[in-house]
Structure 1
Amino acid sequence: MNTPLGHIDIALVSVSAPILCGIYEQDRLIKTIQSDELALIALPRIFEAFLPRPHKAPQSALPALDSIPDSMSDSVLDSMHLTYKGKIIESIYYAQGPGSFTSLKLTHIFLHTLSLMYDVKLFATSSFYFTKSPYIKAFGTTYFHRDEMGNITLARDNVRDETNSIESTQNIESTPSADSIADSINAKPQHKPLQEGFFLPDYLDKSAFHTHTQPLYILPALH
């Protein structure tokens, strides 16, 4: 008599580096995988570690493991493959944005390909589910900001200019010396970074996810 196959769920945060992948059984986190590689390289390598040969598409649909730089040792990959042999991925729960536009697009294409190849269900949610911060790095000094109402907009990190702003409002009638100007330019304001790191929750709250799996792009307002 065949042994019933176990089911696992995957949670994925690939909107920025490092990429986080969590394996869940009965909504509880049992394994965390982290990669500092680009999404194009990391995603196939992580998922091929515990996915069987696809039954709806040729194996060439995904890059071969030996063509991908070795960020994880073969022994680690072999161990993972043995550990999750006989397990079936039921669903993938992932961050659909905001985040790196390139990573969002690659993640969307990659996961929807997996969904077709393996009959895996996809569920998505905002990247803010995986962080306690209301800010996520966008580009330069710009951040994605989620307000108390859940609205997401682009915000600029003005805190970094705070020292120079204070300096410019003091001693307006006096002419600053060369030394004070140099000190003002070189000053590095001490403040807590706006963004805290992403994390995988110990318990996966599936009610926070939905089936609308298009990438969430937040673009600057047009003027």
Structure 2
Amino acid sequence: MHDALVIALSSPVLVGIYKDGVLVEEIKNEGMSSDVLAEIFDSLLERYTFSHLMYAKGPGSFMGIKVTYVFLKTLSIVRKIPLLATDAFFFNQNSPIKAVGKLYFVKNRTTIELEPLTSPEIIGFELPKTIELEKFNSDNLPYYGIDAVG
């Protein structure tokens, strides 16, 4: 059994496959999550049986978060695979995450806030080489941080 982790908060979309908590396959795709997730998982589901699906639930790209959640939640229900999540700061060394304009999401211990930053050091998202399921939880609803602009 394997675990799948999806980070689709910006480009590229990252998918990691883990065996006993160790990264065994990494997929990077520059496409939009709405275009590439089904294609990626079509191939993965032919090769692997998953015991957990995990994802970065935000903050980040509103559409990326939404599409990833709907896709993985559907797969979770249909295949009866638990869906777990954690916030995006877990994957970028707690670096600020672009929100809108000069606003960035920052994590201060346990709270995520919006702050105006002039020129923050941005660190890209990365798949961890190892994972512990205890770092993820079943509170898997997306975290958007700001309301959608309509």
TM-score when normalising by structure 2: 0.91
Among 30, 49, 54, which residue is 2:43 paired with?
A: 49
Deviations along 1:94-134, one digit per CA (max 9) or x if unpaired, are: 10111111111111111111112212110000011111133
Deviations along 1:13-57, one digit per CA (max 9) or x if unpaired, are: 0111111000000000011000110110011111111214xxxxx
Runs of 4+ deviating beyond 4 Å: none
What corresponds to 1:89 in structure 2?
50
How far the C-alpha of 1:156 sits from its partner, in A, is 1.6
Q: Is the 8 A contact 1:133 1:195 kept in 2?
A: no
What corresponds to 1:200 in structure 2?
127
Q: Which moved more, 1:30-39 or 1:116-125?
A: 116-125
Q: Is the 8 A contact 1:17 1:38 kept in 2?
A: yes
What corresponds to 2:110 in structure 1?
150
Structure with greater proportional helix content: 1
Structure with greater proportional strand content: 2
SS at structure 2 position matched to 1:50: helix
CA-based RMSD:
1.4
Task: Trace 1:109-188 onto structure 2 (pairs within 5 A).
Answer: 109-147=70-108, 149-159=109-119
Which sections of structure 2, spanning at least 5 residues, go unmatched?
A: none
Alpha-carbon distance between aligned partners in 2 of 1:119 and 1:198, rounded to the nearest angstrom: 28
Alpha-carbon distance between aligned partners in 2 of 1:125 and 1:214, rounded to the nearest angstrom: 10
The share of aligned pairs that are identical, in percent, is: 33
Which sections of structure 1, spanning at least 5 residues, go unmatched?
A: 1-6, 53-83, 160-192
How far the C-alpha of 1:155 sits from its partner, in A, is 1.4
What corresponds to 1:11 in structure 2?
5
Deviations along 1:140-170, one digit per CA (max 9) or x if unpaired, are: 32211111x22111112224xxxxxxxxxxx
The code of the aligned residue for 1:27 comes to G
TM-score when normalising by structure 1: 0.63
Task: From the CA coordinates, give the structure whose radius of gyration is larger.
Answer: 1
Q: Which moved more, 1:34-43 or 1:130-139?
A: 130-139
What corresponds to 2:137 in structure 1?
210
